[in-house]
Amino acid sequence: MTSFDNAFFKYLCGFIWFDQDRLEALMKQYPIGATEQGEPIFWHINSENKITNGRILTMDSETGKVYDDSWYYQDGRPTCMFGEHLLGAFPSQTIALVTDEQTAAVMSCFPTPYVWLAIGKEKAIPSDLLPLEGKSVVVFPNKGEYSKWQEMLQAVPNLQFHISDVMEKTQGDCHTIAQMVLSQQPLRPTEAETALMRMEDANPNLALLVKALDLEVVGFSPISDNVKDETPKTKPTSKDPKEDVIIQSILLAQEERWHGRNPECHKCKLSHEGINGTFCGKLHRYVEHGKGDCGIEAEKPPAPE
């Protein structure tokens, strides 16, 4: 029913704000699943804690852009609001209402005085909001939907509501309040950027050099002269016995070729055989087969006297 292995959580992991504790708290409050293709399933659970349906989103795990959506149950059965199961747990708290599920889920991770719910469909009708009767509701419409929400909310009896116009005043490409908030969050640094920051901490002059020459990180190698190369000579075996035999035969052939064609590099702990030949950890490049041209003296038998 729940799974962190989907495009939505991968997208959130790109931001520093979403650490493990916040992601686990999010999952505990709003159960989110995943299809076999890694698409998130936002489960709609009613006040009786029963799943009425699940919204499946096809989205980009790097940008968060949604390309398509569908429903887990395709038989047209009625559904409830996303997060409706939280109404009983927070009976006196103000409700924040949005259009889509990912906006409610994202905003729940930030400190606000609201319980976040989502309609979960573009064409909502007043009857969809009846569970909110007697509640105090703040609505955050997507950009361009302010008047549509105003008309629909006035048709719901016994409802105290306020419609925020924050997105109508927002400049730029953000269409939801979640997009606006996330656009202000720092991204988690990549492995290469983290490596550069560590190097700059060790040598502050490097930071000045990077800034003066307007350099950028395009890649990095974890190999150094002082660090033993721990590149495995073999890969972990797979679960398929047939694949194991094929992989082991390829690795064996590669090992024999390396030892036979580059015997000097084969003895060196700073080199390893890659797909494109022998990679020298001292020169940080591939070297010619049969020649140990990196300058490291290989082990040789003593010369006869």
Three-state secondary structure along 5-18? CCHHHHHHCCECCC
Instruction: State residue 173 phi and psi, 5-degree precision.
Output: -95, 0
Torsion, CA 162, CA 165, CA 166, CA 167, rounded to 10? 120
Torsion, CA 198, CA 204, CA 208, CA 214, rounded to 10? -10
* Integer Rg of the chain from CA: 28
Return the pLDDT at 230. 44
Return the pLDDT at 272. 64
d(CA 195, CA 191): 6
Give the predicted TM-score (pTM) of the model: 0.65
Percent of the chain topping pLDDT 70: 65
Q: What is the mean pLDDT of the chain?
A: 79
Cross-strand pairs, 45:
51
Q: What is the DSSP letter of 135?
A: -
Half-sphere exposure of 12 (CA within 13 A, CB side): 25
- Counting every residue written for the chain, the total comes to 305
Q: Are 54 and 47 in contact (CB under 8 A)?
A: no
pLDDT tens digit sequence for 112-152: 999 999 999 877 888 888 899 888 999 999 999 998 898 88
